[in-house]
Chains A and B, each alone.
Chain A
Amino acid sequence: MRIEGFRTASAAGRVRTEATIVWEEADRPAFVVFFDVAGPSGREVDANAFVAAAAMPAYRRGERRIAVEGSVCPRLRDGIAAAAALLGAWHRHPGPTPAIEPAGGFVPPRPAARRRAAILASGGIDSTFEILRNRRDLPVDHPLSFREAVRLGDFIFPVDSSPERRAHVEARSSRSVWAIADAAGLERSEVSTNAAVLEPEAEGHMRWTHGSLLAAAGIAAGRDLTDVTISASHDLVQGLRAWGSHPLIDPNFGTAAVAVHHRGIESSRLRKTAAIARWPAALASLYVCGQGPLPGETANCGACEKCVRTRVSLLVGAGIEEPPTFPPGRVSAETIDAIAPLEGFRIMSYYWDELAPAARDAGRRDLAAAIGRLIARQEAHDRWFRAQGWKGALRRTDERWLGGALRRARRARRPR
């Protein structure tokens, strides 16, 4: 792989840095990756962000080197080797780590004279909990007290979502993130990038590049930042999974100027949700839903798996029956029964296991029973998905030889 042709342009308070990614081993077309930065620290993005974003896709696709214009931090080089080794071991990918070949050599970037911490914020449970905790535990003059909320714009799967969907999701996400940032006294910062296209399938992204892409956005967010926090999406209560964002992965994508922290593994999602429920400003802006476009002004559809899970968590963890950013109405056993099985890499029981006992403890045996049915239904679906027979053979053929094109076409026919 080569990363070349760096160019920068500024307009309307945003700085865009682009570079062309040229694949040398993988049969993929050259591609222009951009980082578009707006906010107090926004400046030209250096090569480290591009290398952090491209390294795992390059490794996964068998690239032998990453030749890059400019210099690369030696700590990032070593971190990439460690992350590739870990992800390779987890996903049984035996290939060698691409050699990093910076034209300007390995030069550690200098950190800002004063430490400045930021959080990558999505408006969802994990990052909002980290903001809450940071504000609760650290005095505002502490170097690790968050100063900025960095929102990752254009971060949407499938990467070829319709412009309508993209615009709607962006609007809801930014409204939520900025409201929470304002409530917490954080400056707003935004990084938009199309680097997700380097690993365009949601599954590949979640398993391989989730953490490195977030870290790249953190590096890109500005040269004044010294500490960037990525919120844990998994926890030790349910068990950590081999995942693209992980406490063993994310910190590897830091540099000598920007440390990347992965925080929140000790708290379950239910516990985080219950904590957020006691922060009215966050509750009033909570955004967890990637569906869209949605009718009206609602932030969340209220019916997808993640929405229902969050509503159940708010109900059994904090007694909130009608959370403000969801459509009116109470969550019921029927709502849970209506959840469609998850496909592919998401594990329903991972997310729902802790909710059944919590529902029982909250006196909602009906919800606990519905959760039991949901998990059983998912297991039956998984067995069916792995099944023998012509449908199983077709699915396997599609995944192996057509890269899941039939599955995507079928999904595209469904109403969103």
Chain B
Amino acid sequence: MKIGAIRRTGTAGEDTIEARVEWEDAGRPPFDLHFSFLSGDVPAADPNAFLIAVFVAALRDGERRIAVEGAICPVLRDGLRAAAAVLGSWYGGDRRMPALEPSEGFRAGYPPAAGGEAIFLSGGLDSLDLLLSRGAGLPREHPAAVRRAIFVTRCGLFPDEPQLAETGARSERAVRATAAEAGLPLTVVSTNLLGLQGSLRSFALESHGSFFAAIAQLLSGRVSTVALAASDDVMSGLHPWGSHPLLDPLFGTSAVRFVHDGIGIKREEKAARVGGSEPGRRHLYTCSFPLPGDPLLNCGRCEKCLRTMVELLVAGALAESETFPRDVTADAIRSLPGVPSYRRLDYYWEPMASGARRAGRPDLADAIDERLEANRRAEEWERDRGWTGLLRRLDRRWLGGRALAFRRRIARGAR
């Protein structure tokens, strides 16, 4: 892979950094990758950002080298080697660390003398909690205080879908209001990076930490640390995921440290803190399918909305919310739309059944149990799809699984 022609373009109020990404081994067409700052500030023309942006895709698609125009941070070089090992241990496959070939060698960048932090805001529960915990933990005059928020408005997947445009507009509105009330300048970023990385599935499982880390690097020279909110927590269990406390910091450099924060906070704690806060009450936005013209920010019917509503309800905060319908029904949960298997419905919903019971809503708890059971059945069915699935089902039903056992014995013998 080659990353070249790194250049600055743009118009008034929209500064863009672009680079041409050319594949050498994967047989994919060249890609003009861009990051645009829509908020008046200027992105750093930092080759490290482009390297971070393409790395996971290059690793997955078997590129043998990444030649970059400019100098690369040696801390990042070592971090990427570790990231390759982490992803390889999680997902296997032929992930070999590509050789890094920067035209100007390996050279460490400097953090700004007056450091300060930035955090990513999406409008959702995790990032709002990050604002309340990490952001409010230090007084504004503290050198390590959060001084800036970053919002990614477009990411390059399905760019013409009106649904996504509506989602983007609403989340931007929510984030702008949140940042303004917190007194944080907001950097608004648009990129086509997700178009390079591939599917939403690989984004979720492998690369979304690096996606945000690349954008963080564009703020080099202005902040020394950028924090991303953890989506998973230790108590519910950490598992391989594209943004992970082991993986994300590896995409930092000697100029910008990238921090994955919040793994020690349960979702129910986040819901209580966010739901009880002014920004949470007025601006919490989680919706995947907002309804145009709906005065409420969130539809209250999609999976993410319903999940957040139950969490707020358990925390005693749903009735005060200005962005969600103020109650949840068991029927809504029973008819919860399906989600792709990698999104792990049970991870988020299973702990909520007991919470709903504690909150005096056994009807919701029963509905959650029913919905999860239906989900488990659906996943089992999905795993058995196609002609191999048909054979497995026939084997189980008529031969008691003997064919599968025989095949395994043969395979063991061959090894």
- Known contacts A74-B138, A247-B249; decide if A137 and B108 are in contact (CB<8 Å): yes
CB neighbours of B134 from chain A (8 A): 75
A366 touches B (CB below 8 Å): no
CB neighbours of A144 from chain B (8 A): 75, 108, 254
- Known contacts A78-B133, A142-B108; decide if A85 and B234 are in contact (CB<8 Å): yes
Cβ of A266 and Cβ of B106 under 8 Å apart? no
CB neighbours of A26 from chain B (8 A): none
Cβ of B74 and Cβ of A137 under 8 Å apart? yes
B82 touches A (CB below 8 Å): yes
- Known contacts A138-B254, A266-B85; decide if A108 and B264 are in contact (CB<8 Å): no
CB neighbours of B257 from chain A (8 A): 259
Closest to A247 in B: B246
Closest to B264 in A: A82
B230-267 toward A: CB 8 Å interface, digit per residue (1/0)?
Answer: 00011101000000011001000010010000011100
B111 touches A (CB below 8 Å): yes
Cβ of A266 and Cβ of B82 under 8 Å apart? yes
Cβ of A85 and Cβ of B264 under 8 Å apart? yes
A380-405 toward B: CB 8 Å interface, digit per residue (1/0)?
Answer: 00000000000000000000000000
Cβ of B264 and Cβ of A139 under 8 Å apart? no
Question: For the complex, what is the distance from the CA of A257 to the CA of B115, rounded to whole Å?
Answer: 12
Closest to B138 in A: A108
CB neighbours of B263 from chain A (8 A): 82, 85-86, 248
- Known contacts A86-B234, A108-B144, A248-B246; decide if A81 and B265 are in contact (CB<8 Å): yes
A183 touches B (CB below 8 Å): no
Cβ of B264 and Cβ of A78 under 8 Å apart? yes
CB neighbours of B168 from chain A (8 A): none
B110 touches A (CB below 8 Å): yes
A74-116 toward B: CB 8 Å interface, digit per residue (1/0)?
Answer: 1100110111111001000000000000000010101100110
B196 touches A (CB below 8 Å): no
Cβ of A78 and Cβ of B86 under 8 Å apart? no
B83-101 toward A: CB 8 Å interface, digit per residue (1/0)?
Answer: 0011001000000000000
Question: For the complex, what is the distance from the CA of A17 to the CA of B354, rounded to whole Å?
Answer: 47
Nearest CB in chain B: distance from A174 CB, A: 29
Question: For the complex, what is the distance from the CA of A239 to the CA of B137, rounded to whole Å?
Answer: 35
Cβ of A236 and Cβ of B233 under 8 Å apart? no
Question: For the complex, what is the distance from the CA of A96 to the CA of B337, rounded to whole Å?
Answer: 36
Cβ of B234 and Cβ of A265 under 8 Å apart? no
CB neighbours of A406 from chain B (8 A): none
Cβ of B139 and Cβ of A108 under 8 Å apart? yes
B78 touches A (CB below 8 Å): yes
Within 8 A of A (CB), among B104-127: 106, 108, 110-111, 113, 115
Within 8 A of A (CB), among B141-165: 142-144
Nearest CB in chain A: distance from B398 CB, A: 42
Question: For the complex, what is the distance from the CA of A247 to the CA of B113, rounded to whole Å?
Answer: 26
A129-155 toward B: CB 8 Å interface, digit per residue (1/0)?
Answer: 000010011110011100000000000
Cβ of B265 and Cβ of A142 under 8 Å apart? no
CB neighbours of B110 from chain A (8 A): 142-143
B79 touches A (CB below 8 Å): yes
B65 touches A (CB below 8 Å): no
Nearest CB in chain A: distance from B388 CB, A: 32
B282 touches A (CB below 8 Å): no
B81 touches A (CB below 8 Å): yes
CB neighbours of A142 from chain B (8 A): 108, 110, 254
- Known contacts A85-B263, A248-B246, A256-B138; decide if A138 and B108 are in contact (CB<8 Å): yes
- Known contacts A74-B137, A142-B110, A248-B245; decide if A108 and B81 are in contact (CB<8 Å): no
Cβ of A256 and Cβ of B142 under 8 Å apart? yes
Question: For the complex, what is the distance from the CA of A110 to the CA of B114, rounded to whole Å?
Answer: 13
Q: Which of A79, A83, A108, A267 has the most CB of B within 10 A?
A: A108
Cβ of A266 and Cβ of B81 under 8 Å apart? yes
A237 touches B (CB below 8 Å): yes
CB neighbours of A115 from chain B (8 A): 111, 115
Cβ of A81 and Cβ of B111 under 8 Å apart? no
Cβ of A265 and Cβ of B265 under 8 Å apart? no
Cβ of B254 and Cβ of A82 under 8 Å apart? no
Q: Which of A143, A237, A267 contacts B111 (CB 8 A)?
A: A143
Nearest CB in chain A: distance from B302 CB, A: 30
Cβ of B137 and Cβ of A108 under 8 Å apart? yes
Q: What are 22 A-B contacts with C-beta separation under 8 Å?
A: A74-B137, A75-B137, A79-B264, A85-B235, A85-B263, A85-B264, A86-B264, A108-B144, A110-B143, A137-B75, A137-B106, A138-B254, A142-B108, A142-B110, A144-B254, A236-B86, A237-B85, A239-B89, A240-B246, A256-B142, A257-B144, A263-B78
Nearest 4 CB-CB pairs, A to B?
Answer: A82-B264, A266-B82, A236-B85, A137-B74
Residues of A whose CB lies within 8 Å of any CB of B are 74-75, 78-79, 81-86, 89, 106, 108, 110-111, 114-115, 133, 136-139, 142-144, 236-237, 239-240, 247-248, 251-252, 256-257, 259, 263, 265-267
- Supplied contacts A85-B235, A237-B85, 10 more A-B pairs, CB within 8 Å: A78-B133, A82-B263, A86-B234, A86-B263, A108-B137, A138-B254, A139-B108, A143-B110, A144-B254, A247-B249
